[in-house]
């Protein structure tokens, strides 16, 4: 376990190095030889194709990954039959609190507009260079249904066709959610075998994602060279504003929403809660991994918060996969920021769709470094933005990953506190039960 986390940490620092190298080289090219022929040659035939290969490998795997993760994440909530009521409460809590988290992030990013004010011609040129047809961005967005038609289209009439369309990702997620509920309600030998099959599909796909992610440092360097060579120093200003907005949204959830939940539903002093859970918070921030933090969180829930062990183990284990408030908020802010950066106006309905996918994406995000990258790319495609736009934020993901992982872990402990407060003290024995395999963020 320690060796695996060490490799993960090393990869994140490699991505940071790729970000700095690509940024520095791009800024030099922008400042000294912006219109040189060699810069266009490199971006067209070297850095551009490398980035495209990396994204295509991710897109190739993201549908089976998200589908299997959602199905397994929902169906596993019924594994402990004696805690089925707790499982349903956990599901309801996760959906409601994740909705609040994403709504907070969308309000903040729309009010502050960190991506506004960029040279639109340069943005269009960047997308035209990477995709070959920048005008497709607005056209794809305009062709999407809205209002009641968009609501009806969430339910797919052809699953295979929906899987082949980037704009129908919400339909795929709906079917996965519906199918997972079916597995949750079906307790037969065949259904349990089918569930294990989806778990195997998730394991295989995640292993392949881990292999692809090893290319991320090179891809980040290529992406940042292209962006810096085109946007210059304005890129740093926009990235700083983006990071600030993400941190503000995470802070509101951490220090406003969570204390309200603790005080009203958890019957716990927020100050005492944060004091008693600081060990788990520090572990989450330093490792940027829910997987590495889960043993600490379980010990904190047992020894510091004194929660019923069966409830806390169930909620924290499920929460490591499904209750990812920080990840959902990061995805929501990132999509709206990139839309603002490239001058794409999203309607209220499109932003509602973004919120829904972020909530489900919080359940289906892969437990690997940069695991939210495929989800963000799919959401971009769904609202009519070229997925290549995600290159803009790859370089600052390491620090934001540490912050959102901290929110994820604290959010899991808040969920355990709230759900435990609603359970009778003598209804549940305190002996330990086997925990499901944890997932890192």
Q: What is the 3-state secondary structure (H, E, C) of the chain?
A: CHHHHHHHHHHHHHHHHHHHHHHHHHHHHHHHCCCCHHHHHHHHHHHHHHHHHHHHHHHHHHHHHHHHHHHHHHHHHHCCHHHHHHHHHHHHHHHHHHHHHHHHHHHHHHHHCCCCCCCHHHHHHHHHHHHCCCCHHHHHHHHCCCHHHHHHCCCCCCHHHHHCCHHHHHHHHHHHHHHHHHHHHCCCHHHHHHHHHHHHHHHHHHHHHHHHHCCHHHHHHHHHHHHHHHHCCHHHHHHHHHHHHHHHHHHHHHHHHHHHHHHHCCCCCHHHHHHHCHHHHHHHHHHCCHHHHHHHHHHHHHHHCCCCHHHHHHHHHHHHHHCCHHHHHHHHHHHHHHHHHCCCCCCHHHHHHHHHHHHHHHHHCCCCCCCCHHHHHHHHHHCCCCHHHHHHHHHHHHHHHHHHHHHHHHHHHHHHHHHHHCCCCCCCCCCCCCCCCCCCC
Going by pLDDT thresholds of 50, 70 and 90, the confidence category of residue 16 is: confident
Residue 247 has pLDDT above 90, yes or no: yes
Instruction: Give the number of other Cβ atoms within 10 Å of residue 2's Cβ.
Output: 7
Going by pLDDT thresholds of 50, 70 and 90, the confidence category of residue 284 is: confident
Output the CA torsion sign for 125, 130, 133, 136. negative
The Cα–Cα gap between 51 and 130 comes to: 9
Mean pLDDT of 422-427: 60
pLDDT higher for 306 or 60?
306
The Cα–Cα gap between 30 and 235 comes to: 11
pLDDT higher for 120 or 430?
120
Extract the tokens encoding 157: 């009439």
Please state which of the ranges 145-149, 178-182, 347-351 shows the lowest mean pLDDT.
Answer: 145-149
Mean pLDDT of 148-155: 67
The Cα–Cα gap between 63 and 19 comes to: 27
Range with the largest mean pLDDT of 119-123, 162-166, 178-182, 194-198: 194-198
Mean pLDDT of 116-130: 60
Could you tell me which residues come within 8 angstroms of residue 224 by beta carbon, excluding any fewer than 6 positions away? 18, 19, 21, 22, 23, 26, 391, 394, 395
Q: What percent of the chain has pLDDT over 90?
A: 19
Residue 249 has pLDDT above 90, yes or no: yes
C-beta of residue 65 within 8 angstroms of C-beta of residue 205? yes
pLDDT higher for 355 or 361?
355
Residue 396 has pLDDT above 60, yes or no: yes
Cα first-last separation, the chain: 15
Q: What percent of the chain has pLDDT over 70?
A: 75
pLDDT of residue 39: 81
Mean pLDDT of 286-308: 82
pLDDT of residue 271: 95
The Cα–Cα gap between 12 and 283 comes to: 17
Question: Tens digits of per-residue pLDDT, 32-73?
Answer: 866 677 887 888 888 878 877 887 887 788 778 778 877 876
What angle, rounded to 10 degrees, do the helices at 278-287 and 397-421 form?
150
Mean pLDDT of 326-338: 89
Range with the largest mean pLDDT of 122-131, 167-176, 339-348: 339-348
C-beta of residue 365 within 8 angstroms of C-beta of residue 375? yes
C-beta of residue 424 within 8 angstroms of C-beta of residue 99? no
- For the chain, give the mean pLDDT: 77
To 10 degrees, the CA torsion angle through 70, 198, 390, 14? 120
Question: Tens digits of per-residue pLDDT, 176-230?
Answer: 878 888 887 888 899 889 989 988 998 898 788 778 878 878 888 888 888 788 7
pLDDT of residue 111: 93
Structural domains of the chain, ranges and CATH numbers in brackets? 2-421 (1.10.3860)
In which residue are the tokens 């959102």 written?
404
Could you tell me which residues come within 8 angstroms of residue 195 by beta carbon, excluding any fewer than 6 positions away? 71, 72, 75, 76, 183
pLDDT of residue 88: 78
Going by pLDDT thresholds of 50, 70 and 90, the confidence category of residue 322 is: low
């Amino acid at each position: 376990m320690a060796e695996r986390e060490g490799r993960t940490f090393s990869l994140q620092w490699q991505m940071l190095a790729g970000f700095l190298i690509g940024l520095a080289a791009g800024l030099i090219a922008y400042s000294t030889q912006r219109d040189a022929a060699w810069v266009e040659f490199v971006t067209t035939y070297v850095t551009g194709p490398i980035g495209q290969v990396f994204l295509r490998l991710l897109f190739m795997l993201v549908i089976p990954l998200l589908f299997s993760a959602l199905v397994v994440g929902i169906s596993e909530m019924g594994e402990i039959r004696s805690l089925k009521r707790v499982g349903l409460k956990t599901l309801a809590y996760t959906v409601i609190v994740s909705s609040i988290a994403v709504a907070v992030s969308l309000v903040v990013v729309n009010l502050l507009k960190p991506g506004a004010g960029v040279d639109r011609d340069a943005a269009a040129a960047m997308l035209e260079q990477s995709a070959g047809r920048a005008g497709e961005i607005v056209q794809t967005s305009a062709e999407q249904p809205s209002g009641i038609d968009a609501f009806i289209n969430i339910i797919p009439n052809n699953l295979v066709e929906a899987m082949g369309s980037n704009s129908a990702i919400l339909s795929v997620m709906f079917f996965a959610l519906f199918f997972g509920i079916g597995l949750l309600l079906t307790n037969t030998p065949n259904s349990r075998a089918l569930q294990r099959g989806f778990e195997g599909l998730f394991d295989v796909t995640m292993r392949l994602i881990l292999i692809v992610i090893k290319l991320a440092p090179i891809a980040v360097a290529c992406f940042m060279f292209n962006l810096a060579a085109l946007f210059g120093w304005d890129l740093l200003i926009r990235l700083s504003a983006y990071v600030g907005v993400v941190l503000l949204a995470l802070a509101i959830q951490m220090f406003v929403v969570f204390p309200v939940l603790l005080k009203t539903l958890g019957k716990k002093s927020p100050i005492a809660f944060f004091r008693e859970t600081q060990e788990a918070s520090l572990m989450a921030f330093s490792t940027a991994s829910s997987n590495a933090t889960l043993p600490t969180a379980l010990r904190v829930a047992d020894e510091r918060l004194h929660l019923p062990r069966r409830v806390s183990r169930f909620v924290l284990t499920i929460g490591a996969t499904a209750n990812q408030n920080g990840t959902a908020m990061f995805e929501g802010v990132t999509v709206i920021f990139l839309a603002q950066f490239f001058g794409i106006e999203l309607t209220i309905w499109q932003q509602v769709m973004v919120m829904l996918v972020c909530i489900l994406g919080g359940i289906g995000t892969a437990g690997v470094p940069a695991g939210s990258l495929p989800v963000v790319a799919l959401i971009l495609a769904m609202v009519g933005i070229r997925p290549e736009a995600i290159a803009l934020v790859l370089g600052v993901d390491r620090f934001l990953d540490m912050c959102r992982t901290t929110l994820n872990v604290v959010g899991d402990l808040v969920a355990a506190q709230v759900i435990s407060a609603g359970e009778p003290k003598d209804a549940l024995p305190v002996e330990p039960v086997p925990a499901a395999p944890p997932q890192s963020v």
